[in-house]
């Protein structure tokens, strides 16, 4: 398929994947999901999503330029940027560093029977490899069920997307940047599946995309698990069942964030108002995607 997309509605693609040399898990958010009551999908050429751009090849840079990307939202932590490198982007493109919090040490159900998913996920947007290394290193003598730990880590991280004040600031700025741009915006984290997935889910929610279609878009990132595994540093002793849970996306992960949003803010509107994405910003974002005002 061609990598060149124009900002338009009604551009439906069977394969949403974009080929951008030097990154993966790349696709246009538009062109598939259709808002409730609408007959056409949200516009393409507005928001792209990828994994890290730290290793973007010259051909990938040219592709982003062809796609009219002038703003890049980098959701990685400072530790991830230091480890993997800064974004490689077209000349003149603006990179906004919008990390979701900073690394912390999660609790473990092996030593804290009252530790819930949110407690384990206090790392927020932390470097996942470090989180797992901390967990395995601290509790290797009496390891809990690996699959359960992996799922609890991920569900907790997603709950942290909703409760972490750093995430509030980053998400609010990201959504405002998408709404105010007149060119294509690209959002990414390290793998382009969790933090990026949350931003995209919110964008689609603002655009009145039905929940089942939001979930479909989110779950497409499961196809990138192999590329993510290849990008991670080795972690001796990590059980494959735990690793499998961390490297993918699952409906219950997104559901954890949605549940936390309802518990803490009551509704999507309440959450968005709290993080500074007011009705005017939401209206501008809907207009960017060709969606009628609510």
pTM (predicted TM-score): 0.85
CA distance 294 to 291: 9
Tell me the two tokens of residue 129: 């490899």
Task: Name every residue whose Cβ is closer than 8 Å to that of residue 128 and which is 6 or more positions away in sequence.
Answer: 190, 232, 246
DSSP 91: T
State the average pLDDT over residues 287-293.
95
What's the confidence (pLDDT) of residue 5? Answer: 36
pLDDT band at 111 (very low <50, low <70, confident <90, very high): very low
pLDDT band at 137 (very low <50, low <70, confident <90, very high): low
| Nearest Cα residue to 95 out of 68, 71, 66 | 71
Averaged confidence pLDDT in the chain: 84
Q: Kindly list the distances between the CA atom of residue 36 and the CA atoms of 97, 204, 205, 272, in Å, as whole numbers in the listed order.
A: 33, 11, 10, 20
State the average pLDDT over residues 189-203.
96
Active site residues: 189
State the average pLDDT over residues 264-270.
98
CA distance 165 to 72: 22
CA distance 170 to 294: 25
Q: Is the pLDDT of residue 217 over 70?
A: yes
pLDDT tens readout for residues 179-192: 999 999 999 999 99
CA distance 218 to 199: 10
Q: Is the pLDDT of residue 241 over 70?
A: yes
CATH fold, domain 27-288, is 3.90.190
State the average pLDDT over residues 223-231.
79
Pick the residue with more confidence: 2 or 227? 227
Q: Kindly list the distances between the CA atom of residue 211 and the CA atoms of 1, 29, 36, 218, 251, in Å, as whole numbers in the listed order.
A: 28, 15, 10, 10, 11
């Amino acid at each position: 398929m061609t990598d060149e997309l124009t900002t338009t509605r009604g551009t439906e693609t069977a394969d949403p994947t974009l080929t951008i040399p030097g990154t993966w898990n790349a696709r246009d958010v538009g062109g598939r999901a259709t808002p409730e009551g609408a007959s056409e999908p949200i516009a393409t050429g507005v928001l792209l999503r990828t994994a890290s751009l730290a290793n973007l090849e010259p051909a990938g840079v040219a592709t982003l330029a062809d796609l009219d990307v002038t703003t890049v939202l980098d959701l990685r932590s400072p530790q991830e940027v230091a480890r993997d490198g800064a974004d490689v982007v077209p000349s003149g493109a603006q990179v906004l560093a919008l990390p979701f919090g900073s690394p912390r040490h999660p609790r473990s159900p092996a030593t804290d029977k009252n530790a819930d998913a949110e407690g384990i996920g206090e790392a927020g947007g932390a470097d996942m490899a470090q989180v797992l290394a901390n967990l395995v290193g601290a509790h290797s003598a009496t390891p809990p069920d690996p699959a359960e730990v992996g799922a609890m880590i991920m569900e907790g991280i997603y709950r942290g997307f909703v409760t972490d004040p750093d995430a509030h600031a980053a998400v609010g700025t990201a959504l405002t940047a998408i709404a105010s741009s007149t060119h294509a915006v690209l959002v990414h984290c390290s793998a382009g599946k969790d933090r990026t997935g949350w931003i995209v889910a919110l964008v689609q929610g603002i655009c009145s995309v039905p929940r089942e279609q939001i979930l479909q878009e989110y779950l497409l990132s499961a196809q990138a698990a192999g590329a993510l595994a290849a990008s991670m540093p080795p972690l001796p002793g990590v059980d494959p069942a735990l690793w499998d849970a961390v490297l993918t996306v699952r409906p219950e992960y997104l559901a954890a964030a949605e549940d936390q949003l309802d518990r803490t803010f009551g509704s999507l509107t309440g959450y968005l108002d709290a993080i500074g994405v007011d009705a005017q910003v939401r209206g501008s974002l809907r207009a960017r995607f060709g969606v009628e005002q609510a």
